[in-house]
Structure 1
Amino acid sequence: MNIQPIKAFSDNYIWVIEEGTKAIVVDPGEAEGVLAYLEKHHLDLKAILLTHHHEDHVGGVKEIVTQYPNTPVYGPQETASLANHIIQEGDAFELLGKSFQVFKTAGHTEGHVSLLMEEALFCGDALFSAGCGRVFTGDYQAQYDALQKFKQLKDEVKVFAAHEYTQTNLRFAHSVQPSNETITEALDQVNALRKKGVPTLPSTIGREKKINPFLTAETLEDFITLRKARDQF
């Protein structure tokens, strides 16, 4: 199993899960890069997975499906205009011989879901490296609850978030925990990677427990304070 990023827009990652000549695409916000990648690597698209309805995650679905008719599209109810397999908390399904578990991870959107494939987590905009998504719903409890679900996962689980926000997130984390040497070292490492244009993802749950202030927030009130501070950063 091979998982590769396709860069889209200014900072999106569209993840491609590959098994031999077969592929699954996660959150295709645009089609051009996906179609070019599939053609270049001679991959047969077997499914599309969606975490939520925002255009930068679903904007390429229609064009991709036009090129690959009858492709199953899995997504939460809020993506029902595009998805032909509606998924929700507690669901499990199998693709390419791998089992996918569905978690509701709302807050960023009302119906946001994350998908766990063995030790690979596709979390859309619910969790970033050193950060989490903006709470557009205003439901901070839902976003906080989502973070608690992530904390229960094994440390080895890889985090395939949908945006390259790590550098800015770590700058914020350093501003609130300036004496945290682990965060300082992580920021130095990420600065070096970004100078080379290298992705900072995937991260791991274990790493995020050490560098992500939102995962270490002990109460809902602490989380809200952090999230609002990050919005102003």
Structure 2
Amino acid sequence: MRIEIIPCLQDNYSYLIIDESNNFACVVDPSESEPIINFLKNKNIKLKYILNTHHHYDHIGGNQELKKKYGSVVIGFKGDSKRIPGIDILLQDNQIWKAENFEAKIMHIPGHTSGHICFNFFKEKLVFTGDTLFSLGCGRIFEGSYEEMFESLNKIKLLPKETKIYCGHEYTLNNAKFCKKYDSENKDLQKKIEKIEKLREKGIPTIPSTLKEELDCNIFLRAKDVETFSKLRDFKDNF
């Protein structure tokens, strides 16, 4: 599988997962349709599936136009069946979704929203975490609780350490500044920040990260208990 990062809106990323054996593709969280269409134009790639991690507009804004143009099948969490436009296939927690050569385990990870899921392509060790886990950060808690978000992050922490993390936004540099403020002695974090700064100077995405990097550097994943996590999340909301 080949992953193409498609910048959308101001700081969103959508992702094309391309199976080069048959030129079929999935798109994860199409914020808007135009950048996806522009990438696919004049390429012999069929957009078969639209995978939504959650219902926020900056993750589903392109659903209807892409579905109309390509006949793509829209896939999302059953609990968001009334909030994801054009949804065709309703997924459940721990379900294995398999179509063509695509295969992913669905993980329900509430906190940011009540119906948030991630798509764990476990054979390729790729996970699309939407707005739950960012590189060096985690999502704001809108519909869930601190306990739910903490538990959701703990689920992700159990994946293989070499798993590549593809998240919904380019927030890494700002997240790094927050981590540095509260974890200033972390040598792994210092090295990662140097790498991030060089990438952003060149306009290159900081994504993907790996789970190992996040376990070493992401202060939210390093929080030992929900009380510590909650305080950090509150501090970040006002950072």
State if a TM-score over 0.5 links the two structures.
yes
1:189 maps to a residue whose letter is K
1:100 equivalenced with 2:104 (yes/no): yes
Closer, same or farther: CA 29–79 of 1 in aligned 2, 3 Å: farther
Alignment of 1:1-233 (within 5 A): 1-20=1-20, 21-69=23-71, 71-76=72-77, 77-80=79-82, 81-118=85-122, 119-233=125-239
Closer, same or farther: CA 216–96 of 1 in aligned 2, 3 Å: same
SS in 1 for 2:14: strand
Closer, same or farther: CA 37–175 of 1 in aligned 2, 3 Å: same
Decide whether the 8 Å contact of 1:107 with 1:138 is kept in 2: yes
Which consecutive segments of 4 or more residues in structure 1 shift more than 3 A? none
2:147 maps to a residue whose letter is Q
Closer, same or farther: CA 40–5 of 1 in aligned 2, 3 Å: farther
1:217 maps to a residue whose letter is A
SS in 2 for 1:188: helix
Counterpart-to-counterpart distance in 2, 1:188 and 1:168: 13
TM-score by length of 2: 0.94
SS in 2 for 1:134: coil
Closer, same or farther: CA 171–231 of 1 in aligned 2, 3 Å: same
Deviation at 1:209, TM superposition (A): 0.2
Decide whether the 8 Å contact of 1:121 with 1:159 is kept in 2: yes
Deviation at 1:75, TM superposition (A): 0.4
Counterpart-to-counterpart distance in 1, 2:236 and 2:193: 16
Decide whether the 8 Å contact of 1:53 with 1:79 is kept in 2: no
1:11 maps to a residue whose letter is D
The superposition leaves residues 74-131 of structure 1 with CA deviations (integer Å, 9 ceiling, x where unpaired) of 1013144421101121111113313210001110001100010120001100100010
Decide whether the 8 Å contact of 1:130 with 1:166 is kept in 2: yes
Aligned residue pairs, count = 232
TM-score by length of 1: 0.97
- Root-mean-square deviation (CA, aligned residues, Å) is 1.1
Decide whether the 8 Å contact of 2:33 with 2:63 is kept in 1: yes
Q: Percent identity?
A: 36
2:142 maps to a residue whose letter is F
Decide whether the 8 Å contact of 1:108 with 1:125 is kept in 2: yes
Structure 2: tracts of 5 or more residues without a match? none
